[in-house]
Amino acid sequence: MKFFVDSAEIDQIAELNDLGMIDGVTTNPSLIMKSGRDIIEVTKEICSIVSGPVSAEVTATEAEKMIAEGRKLSEIADNIAIKVPLTWDGLKACKVLSGEGNMVNVTLCFSANQALLAAKAGATFISPFIGRLDDINIDGMDLIEDIRVIYDNYGFETQILAASIRTVNHVLESARIGADVMTAPPSVIKSLANHPLTDKGLAAFLADIEKTGQKIL
């Protein structure tokens, strides 16, 4: 499973990229706002750091304007994935932009029917939002599983990009079900390394070596 980081913070992205932990980046208008930077400027810098897909989201709601914004975003770098919302206008924009050879990430997906439409419109990625479904007491992982089954049934090449990931269990279940990609905040990616038994075992080893008075350096 590929790992994308959901962030517009350059330092966080660079750290994870240098460690080989990420295969791409997703951004959205809220993350751009938090960064306090110009959307074109920060996206261009991210693309210069990461070689994989970098999702940059349109802000228009009408198809023609989405297409125009998408074309402008695509000029930033060759690894731009144009992000459009899963609306009827968004699907129209997806069809045109993907037909022009652009990667398109269709976002804000909350049903398997929506995912089916995105695949038929030529989406490169479909982004089902797990955490936001959990917020309304619907198991978001069920959606990932439904999309996986449907895409496999009919041979759709659209990649499932599990989004709105809040916990390490979301990552585990996405990998188990067969999501192609997951995107998560830097904090969630880093927390994958944590386990209380690792901490306990390390503390015991360090205590024992200290008793011997030995040091390697």
Catalytic (active-site) positions: 83
Tokens of 163: 């989004």
Amino acid at 197: L
